[in-house]
Amino acid sequence: MSSEPGAIHSFFPVVVNVATGLATLEPELEDVLRSLGASRLDILKKVGLPRSLPYFFASLKVAVTLAFVGSVISETVASNLGIGYLMMSASATMNMPLVFAGLFVIGAMGVVMYELFARLERRLTGWATRGQNAAL
């Protein structure tokens, strides 16, 4: 599968959510850190980026599904390789089991990637969740 269309579809949700996460930093906290001698880069590295990680992973889980959809659509339109092209050529010859097999593979890849990022999120941002599932 080509990566360019998937990267284009995935870029903006991630950027918007990370910017939202950075914007949630309280001005009072930033003032306290500045009064303690922290530079803007220190505040970004030590507080801003860790606070935006839950937003990053939330958008990443959405973006990975958009990447698969974008890649398959681009393969159906302008490619002679990949799962999208395979599904289009199979539908032209009325080979519906192959079309549904392609759909199943795309769905399985999406679920596996979503779960991979969900586990990575739990591992890296376990401090951001509350309740009993935080330790998992």
Indicate if the pLDDT at residue 1 is higher than 50.
no
The CA–CA distances, whole Å, from 13 to 1, 29, 34, 124 equal: 21, 27, 30, 20
pTM over 0.85: no
**Percent composition of the chain: helix, strand, coil (DSSP 3-state, to 5):** 85, 0, 15
Indicate if the pLDDT at residue 29 is higher than 80.
yes
pLDDT at 2 (0 to 100): 45
Q: Cα dihedral angle (125, 128, 131, 136), rounded to 10 degrees? A: 0
pLDDT at 130 (0 to 100): 62
Indicate if the pLDDT at residue 30 is higher than 90.
no
Q: In the chain, how many domains are there?
A: 1
The CATH number for 12's domain is 1.10.3720.10
Find the domain containing 33 and state its range: 4-135
pLDDT at 45 (0 to 100): 87
Query: What average pLDDT does the segment 59-64 reach?
Result: 88
Residue in the block written with tokens 């958008």: 59
